[in-house]
């Protein structure tokens, strides 16, 4: 999805700055187990 950001913002430098601001104080949570959204979407398809 980030590949299209440069097209949207018109500049690689601006895109990099925005991503830097968005991820500056981010906390990454790694979770194990089945995705609730994936499970529910599979139920809806059947």
Band (8; pLDDT cuts 50, 70, 90): very high
pLDDT exceeds 80 at position 29: yes
In angstroms, the CA 15 to CA 19 distance is 6
pLDDT exceeds 80 at position 1: no
Task: Report the predicted TM-score, pTM, of the whole model to 2 decimal places.
Answer: 0.53
Tokens (6 digits) for 37:
């959204």
Q: Where are the domains of the chain?
A: 2-45
19-28 contacts: CB < 8 A, separation 24 or more?
none
């Amino acid at each position: 999805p980030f590949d299209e950001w440069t097209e949207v913002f018109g500049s690689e430098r601006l895109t990099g700055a925005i991503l830097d601001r968005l991820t500056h104080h981010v906390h990454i949570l790694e979770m194990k187990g089945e995705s609730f959204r994936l499970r529910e979407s599979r139920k809806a398809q059947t």
